[in-house]
Structure 1
Amino acid sequence: MSLLLFSLISTTAVETFEGGRTESYPMCVIRRRDGVERTLSSRADRMDSLGSRMRGLLRLFRSEDCALVFDFDSVAERRASTLLTPLALDVVWTENGQVTRVARLNPWMGFARGRGDGVMEFPAGVAEDVRPGDELVLR
């Protein structure tokens, strides 16, 4: 347990929370493609602090039905990492809700970059059917 706690404190998944928007109510993540909707996660929480990030990673560790949402004020290159995190993650970058990149990060040492004004993290496998051009909606 102490290793997990250390990993949660040490992780650098998305490089900054500055300028992010926050909402305190739970949401779900819906993928839209060709007019068809599919729920990816029935719980999505916006990450706006180290504390929310730690709670979010604990939720991901315990449940496959959870997503972490990072919102930014502008489009830019965003990095994601599972450095010292014992979880494999699916990471999705979006620009105005449109998917720009999807990556699977292996536990402990995963790293990827993408461009967008939003990043969503899911337990590995949840976003395996998501591809660039899909629309992700928070409800």
Structure 2
Amino acid sequence: MRLVHYEAKGDDELASQTLASTVEFADTVLSRARGLMFRRSVPDDYALVFRFEKPGTRDLHMAFVPFAIDALWLVDDEVVQKKRLRPWVGLGRATADTIVELPAGAADDVEPGDVVHVEE
């Protein structure tokens, strides 16, 4: 499983890039509440994916996360917001049906309007 970024290049051409080859899902109440808290680090090719039934306002916090991350808020795989969250104090909020947390710098080439998709 991998997380792939599709960037429009014009004339309906898409360029793809693998953002993460190690994908973990936060799919229980406990795993969603914990997120990346209490971890010391994550691998460079890692993504934590939160999926929800429908789009809604989704908040992220960095309490007890001692490293920066890139966060992506998606609706139907389209990036609606990207934000770098600082260790311990970072906060983010946007509408999403999926949130992706990546190591800081992993989403540097991702922009709102791009597509990010988990592929089996």
Q: Compute the TM-score of the two structures, normalised by the length of structure 2.
A: 0.85
Aligned to 2:24: 45
Identical amino acids, percent of aligned pairs? 32
Where does residue 86 of structure 1 map in the other structure?
66
In 2, are the aligned partners of 1:90 and 1:125 still within 8 Å (CA)?
yes
RMSD: 2.1
In the alignment, what sits opposite 2:11?
Answer: none
1:7-26 maps to which residues of 2 (within 5 A)? none
- For structure 1, the 5+ residue unaligned runs are 1-26
**Runs of 5+ consecutive residues of structure 2 not aligned to the other structure:** 9-13
Quick one: distance in 1 between partners of 2:102 and 2:78? Answer: 17
Structure 1 SS opposite 2:88: coil
1:30 corresponds in structure 2 to 4
Tell whether the 8 Å contact from 1:92 to 1:101 is kept in structure 2 after alignment: yes
SS for the counterpart of 1:61 is: coil
Q: What count of residue pairs does the alignment treat as equivalent?
A: 113
Higher helix share: 1
Superposed CA deviations along residues 53-73 of structure 1, whole A, max 9, x for unmatched, are 758667781411100000001
Moved more, 111-120 or 45-54: 45-54
**Offset at 1:114?**
1.1
> In the superposition, relative to structure 1, how do residues 51 and 79 fare at CA in structure 2: closer, same or farther (>3 Å)?
closer
| Conserved? CA contact 2:63–2:89, under 8 Å | yes
Deviation readout 1:84-128 (Å, 9 max, x if unpaired): 210211000000000000000000110011111010000111011
Runs of 4+ deviating beyond 6 Å:
none
Structure 1 residue 83 displacement after superposition: 1.3
Q: Matched residues in 2 for 1:87 and 1:39: separation? A: 22
1:1-139 aligned within 5 A: 27-34=1-8, 35-49=14-28, 50-51=30-31, 61-139=41-119
Secondary structure, aligned partner of 2:41: helix
Write the distance in 2 (CA, Å) between the matches of 1:135 and 1:51.
Answer: 25
2:51 and 2:99 in contact (8 A); partners too: yes
Letter in 1 for 2:88: W
